[in-house]
Amino acid sequence: MVKKSLSNLEEASTTNNNHLSVQPYTRFTEFDISLFKSGKHFKLYEKFGSHVLENNGVIGTYFAVWAPNAHFVSVIGNFNHWDKGSHPLYIRWDGSGIWEGFIPNVGNGEAYKYFINSTTGEDLEKADPYALKSEEPPRTASIVWDNWYEWKDTEWMNKRHKNNALNQPMSVYEVHFGSWARGMESPDQFISYKDMAYKIVPYVKEMGFTHVEFMPLMEHPFYPSWGYQITGYFAASCRYGTPQELMYLIEEFHKNDIGVIMDWVPSHFPGDAHGLYHFDGSHLYEHADMKKGFHPDWKSYIFNYGRNEVRSFLISNAIFWLDRFHIDGLRVDAVASMLYLDYSRKEGEWIPNEFGGRENLEAISLLKEFNEAVYANFPDVQTIAEESTSFPGVSHPTYTGGLGFGQKWMMGWMNDTLDYFSEDPINRKYHHSELTFSTIYAFTENFMLPLSHDEVVHGKKSLIYKMPGDEWQQFANLRLLYSYMWTHPGTKLLFMGCEFAQTKEWNPSHSLDWHLLEYAPHQGIKRTVMALNKLYKEEPALYERSFDANGFEWLVNDDWENSVVVYARKGYHSKDDLIIALNLTPVPRTNYRFGVPKNGIYKEIFNSDGHDFWGSGIKNPDKKSEEIGSHWKSNSIEVNIPPLGMVIFKAL
């Protein structure tokens, strides 16, 4: 039955002389093929997919797809009425498994898929893995498109090496594009990339964030996946507009000195019929053994990191977003799930590596090569790992045995800090170590402190409602949490809505509750974040040594009875040093004495209890140190630390 079906297709294409409608053409050199097969080709987007070009004086589109287990591959679309037999591609003679050909008079905007008859007899209709644009879900076809854009962000690109450096401030605003705001006429209406540029760019600039991070904007069929179940790795989601409109948005951020980070998902992909799964009738992109190829948490499929062509696909995709979209950094999702073969699996549900261990050696190798390729081609960007375990050397260079990431999310800090702040202040003295423990390991990696979307969804409550006490105390606690975060070593990430104390959990199907900014407590939180971002960028001690133990010193870390901590942040020059004092109870700590590193006059430069922030307004005049020994220092000062407040002092 299958053979007869295939024979009919071949007969139809021959009878109609339609082989002539697909002309032999290639964009691959022998060197390209060699690199692809060895897993070393990192610009496959220049070769695979659909490309409008001129051939023998005729404008048309070149198509190329990898399907080594296919018996027959054709391009189907509106241009041929989705006729499976009319436009068959040519299989290359070199064993690469690549099918290709040039179809005249097909151009930008044409919807298409690949019809694949596999060697097992299956008939499949697949979207193009390298498509630059897709139909809007629930439709699933690819669209012939280009990503040409005349960029006007040269000034940013020339200075990006400084703005992205590890000794510079990095305060990241994490955004889910579809729910930051919705259309004015309908709550179900998405805002386009271009329209968003006029709304979000000035807002992020006003707030003082240095970078914005978008949850995945690659094409994904299921909106509630938040973008983490991707089918179109090279296609910007058409829910919000064209690739060029996304480029415009990125350009506008750059013109306003704001970097753009994109979430990237090399850990898994969905099993949609038009996607990568079972692509040519075989387990082409995923492992055949579901003990390695199926992800139990997300009911999705895991890339075969040991297959060279898959490695080229993934690293090419990372390079693509940095190259064509001028992305300034990639935050790599679910790294922990890649590193361990037994991740979320019970005994007997996973296969050990060749040495009997649980580490996924192929994934580790891929991540190292990914980072080496990214930094070799774009030394002025950042790669950031969402990695929740104690895997060593995530942000260490590969030549020292590390994975090569620029930074790693500090998940331990996030969990301990939220647990601590969720405690009633009367009990915090019994949990003091949860606040101080992070500095034991804070300098083992280049850490980013994340308060991300994962902490305000699925019944975890919003950040403001994690805080104990009455309304005043909840807002004071949240201001204190942010103040602690912004003065703790490491870069910062805050999820949208948290900057004005969104009260509801994040709902990806609704806009943020912007009306809350009509109320003073929420205005106070917003002003606090703005002030912290301003302080962060103005005070070198808060960023120059973020990943260096010499940039931090405990002055008081043992006053668990009063739930008070005091520490110093240090820059390259002692004149920039800051002293930070936190009172984690609602009881004001008046005339609190602690030792200071040097004699002098200390000025209060920040106070989270200010009236502008909806605080009680307890302040400190300039304080002259006294030759009174305290906390192993020969000089000390006596200050007032407001209830649930933080104060910062700087020597004049």
Residue 205: exposure state from Cβ atoms within 10 A (0-12, 13-18, ≥19): middle
Report the C-alpha gap between 335 and 74 in whole angstroms: 36
386 is an active site residue = yes
Which residue, among 614, 611, 600, 609, has the nearest Cα to 647 in the 3D structure? Answer: 609
Q: What is the pLDDT of residue 382?
A: 98
pLDDT score at 3? 33
**Which candidate, 81, 115, 111, places its Cα nearest to that of 10?**
115
Beta-bridged to residue 382, according to DSSP, are: 329
Please give the Cα distance from 164 to 383 (Å, whole number).
Answer: 10
The DSSP call for residue 641 is: E
Q: What are phi and psi of 106, to 5 degrees?
A: -115, 130
10-residue stretch averages of pLDDT, the chain, 652 residues long: 40 46 96 98 98 96 98 97 97 96 97 96 97 96 97 97 97 98 86 96 98 98 95 97 98 98 97 97 95 92 97 98 98 96 92 95 98 98 96 97 98 97 97 96 98 96 98 98 98 98 96 97 98 98 97 97 98 97 97 95 98 96 94 94 98 94
**Sign, CA torsion 320/321/326/330:** negative
* Residue 12, both tokens: 């139809």
Distance CA 11, CA 633 (A): 91
8 Å CB contact between 228 and 297:
no
The predicted pLDDT at position 517 comes to 98
Q: Helices then strands (H, E): number in the chain?
A: 17, 28
Domains and CATH numbers, the chain: 30-144 (2.60.40.10), 551-651 (2.60.40.1180)
Residues forming a β-bridge with 115: 74, 125
Active site annotation includes 359: no
Alpha carbons 534 and 35: distance in angstroms, whole number: 47
Token pair of 561 as six digits: 């009875």
Cα 263 from Cα 213, distance rounded (Å): 7
Q: What are 116's strand-pairing partners?
A: 73, 124
Q: Around Cβ 257, how many Cβ atoms within 10 Å? A: 12
Separation CA 333–CA 629 (nearest Å): 49
Interacting residues of 117 by C-beta distance below 8 A, sequence separation 6+: 5, 6, 9, 70, 71, 72, 73, 123, 124
Q: What's the token pair of residue 460? A: 């975890």
Q: What is the pLDDT of residue 13?
A: 47
Amino acid 640: pLDDT: 97
The catalytic residue among 309, 386, 387, 416 is 386
Q: How far is CA 478 from the centre of its chain?
A: 24
Task: Give the pLDDT confidence score for residue 187 in this predicted structure.
Answer: 82
**Cβ contact 567:557 at 8 Å:** yes
Buried b (16+ CB within 10 A) or exposed e, 6-23: beebeeebeeeebbebbb
Residue tagged active-site, from 213, 245, 333, 387: 333
289, HSE (Cβ side, Cα atoms, 13 Å): 7
For the record, the structure tokens of 278 come out as 């079972």
Question: Of all helices (H) and strands (E), which one includes residue 536?
Answer: helix 520-538
Q: What pLDDT is stored for residue 186 in this prediction?
A: 81
